[in-house]
Amino acid sequence: MAGRTVTRRLSAPEALLYQEWIAYVRQLHAIVDEMRAVADEARGLILAAPQPTERDSA
């Protein structure tokens, strides 16, 4: 159908399956958002930590 939107009715089992997929995608997005927040916090802690000097490694 080259670029056209096609509307079709879903059977009850198909609709349930789509609802589950949509719920999983929402859950995935929430997890990814949480992971990004943790990574941002870790980056801030790493950048705020004192950097080792050449004397520290000897």
pTM of the model: 0.65
Torsion angles phi and psi, residue 29, rounded to 5: -60, -40
DSSP state of 41: H
d(CA 12, CA 50): 59
* Residue-level pLDDT at 9: 95
DSSP state of 9: P
Average pLDDT per block of 10 residues along the chain, 58 residues long: 87 97 98 98 93 74
Residue 2 CA, distance from chain mean position: 31
